[in-house]
Amino acid sequence: MKVVLLENLKRIGSIGEIIDVKRGYARNFLIANKKALYASKENINQVEKIKTQLSKKDNEKKLEAKKIAGKISNKEFTVKKLSTENKELYGSVKPTEISKLIKEKDNLDINPSMIQPVKEIKSLGKFKVKISLHSEIDAEILIVVESHPCSPYACPPHTCPQILAPHQRLNQNAEPDARQISQHQDVAELQGWQL
């Protein structure tokens, strides 16, 4: 399917360029996100007329991306996750979680689709993450994954101060709540704890 681009897109094309892409990609991504129009004669003429305006908007986006890149490039963001004794995570660190970290720490809204971990984050350690802010501007940050203080090998779930209810924090000798036990039953069974 032929489309005419309304934005500069990395590895795809520049404003006003007519490209041939798969129908699903055109409909579901390019046209749905207003990055392109069907390549009809009317649309091509319309894009040619407003090409300078589109270039101005693209330059504004580029300047904004440079500012954001200056703020976050080479910064470290720390996330605490539950992990095993082998330093493997229960799950992984996803782009949505990284986006929330950046929002909390620097108050910057970054779409999770812009975040591309160099490799999947499934263990404790330091990981480089690339953020595509603009077709011409990328930023690189460092995600430090640390063990959550309530990781199964750190403390059993029925004694963890993070999990205990407020009335139980006052009385550490209290019996664990059934809900708390059931939430951590899987982990406890893996570790061989008796609850």
pLDDT of amino acid 131: 92
> Does 38 share its domain with 96?
no
pLDDT of amino acid 192: 57
Give every residue of the chain whose pLDDT is below 50, as ranges: 164-171, 174, 179
Collapsed DSSP state (helix, strand, coil) of residue 88: strand
> Does 159 share its domain with 143?
no
Collapsed DSSP state (helix, strand, coil) of residue 114: helix
> Does 162 share its domain with 140?
no
> Does 77 share its domain with 114?
yes
pLDDT of amino acid 12: 87
Residue span of the structural domain in which 161 resides: 153-195
Q: Is residue 36 part of a domain?
A: yes
**Each residue of 134-172: pLDDT tens digit?**
888 899 999 999 987 775 555 555 555 555 444 444 445
Own/partner pairs for 64-70, CB < 8 Å, 24+ apart? 65/133, 65/134, 65/137, 66/137, 68/108, 68/110, 68/133, 68/139, 69/131, 69/133, 69/137, 69/138, 69/139
> Does 142 share its domain with 76?
yes
SS3 assignment for 15-84: CCCEEECCHHHHHHHHHCCCCEEECCHHHHHHHHHCHHHHHHHHHHHHHHHHHHHHHHCCCEEEEEECEC
> Does 143 share its domain with 159?
no
- For the chain, report the end-to-end CA distance as a whole number of angstroms: 60
pLDDT of amino acid 162: 52
Q: Is residue 65 part of a domain?
A: no
> Does 161 share its domain with 188?
yes
Domain count along the chain: 3
Give the separation between CA 193 and CA 157, rounded to whole angstroms: 9
pLDDT of amino acid 169: 47
pLDDT of amino acid 66: 92
Q: Is residue 63 part of a domain?
A: no
